[in-house]
A = this chain, B = another copy of it.
């Protein structure tokens, strides 16, 4: 779905997953239901990796670094899911939604807000314990998350890249985002 939801056809999806169009329709009632399933699975996966670090040991900065690295590693490993979630952040779908679809979308958007709120809480912790600068927590959280997500603009999986190499790249990017370019 890298081309974006609106431009993706059921045929594209069927080809991507190596199935027939009939099989895709057997499992999902519409293209929007596929989007909802992928959005939900993407949120579940990233949250599962990141949440344990929010309440872990260390300063606010330590926890924010660990959460951000986990978010980035998840993005790099699950680029397809990430694109779908990112799509959801970018804007609401223009298709007319059925009630159950709208309810499902709102529930997922709430999950995403909770996820963002978790980062906000740790930024505030870091400012309070002196491990982060006295920044505007709302602007800092939004900037950090959108910077983490922007990595999907240029990151492409390198064949044979090990888990350690991926983690090291994530660590270096997060060091730039949290530590900045200047001392």
Report yes or no: A2 in contact with B147, Cβ–Cβ below 8 A.
no
| Chain B, Cβ-Cβ closest to A142 | B154
Q: With the chains together, A135 CA to B4 CA distance in Å?
A: 34
**Which A162-183 residues have C-beta < 8 A from chain B?**
172-173, 176-183
Interface string of A139-162 (1 = CB under 8 A from B): 110111011011101100000000
> Are the CB atoms of B143 and A176 closer together than 8 Å?
yes
From A39-47, A86-94, A101-109, the one touching the partner chain is A86-94
Asked whether any CB of chain B lies closer than 8 Å to the CB of A97, the reply is: no
Contact partner, A150, options B6, B135, B150, Cβ 8 Å: B150
Cα A143 to Cα B143 in complex, Å, equals: 13
Q: Closest approach, in angstroms, between the C-beta of A10 and any C-beta of chain B? A: 15
Chain B residues within an 8 Å CB radius of A94 = 3
* Given A150-B149, A154-B146: A182 touches B133 (CB 8 Å cut-off): yes
Q: Identify which of residues 1-40 in chain A touch chain B, using a CB-to-CB cut-off of 8 Å.
A: 2-4, 6-7
Asked if A123 is at the interface (CB within 8 A of a chain B CB), the reply is yes
| A residues 113-146 touching B (CB-CB < 8 Å) | 123, 126, 131-133, 135-136, 139-140, 142-144, 146
**CA of A3 to CA of B151 in the docked complex: distance in angstroms?**
20
Chain A residues at the B interface, C-beta cutoff of 8 Å: 2-4, 6-7, 61, 64, 89-91, 94, 123, 126, 131-133, 135-136, 139-140, 142-144, 146-147, 149-151, 153-154, 172-173, 176-183
Q: List 27 A-B contacts (CB under 8 A).
A: A3-B6, A3-B91, A4-B6, A6-B6, A7-B7, A61-B181, A61-B182, A64-B181, A123-B181, A133-B180, A133-B181, A133-B183, A140-B176, A140-B181, A142-B154, A143-B173, A146-B150, A147-B147, A147-B150, A147-B177, A149-B150, A176-B180, A177-B180, A178-B180, A178-B181, A178-B182, A180-B181
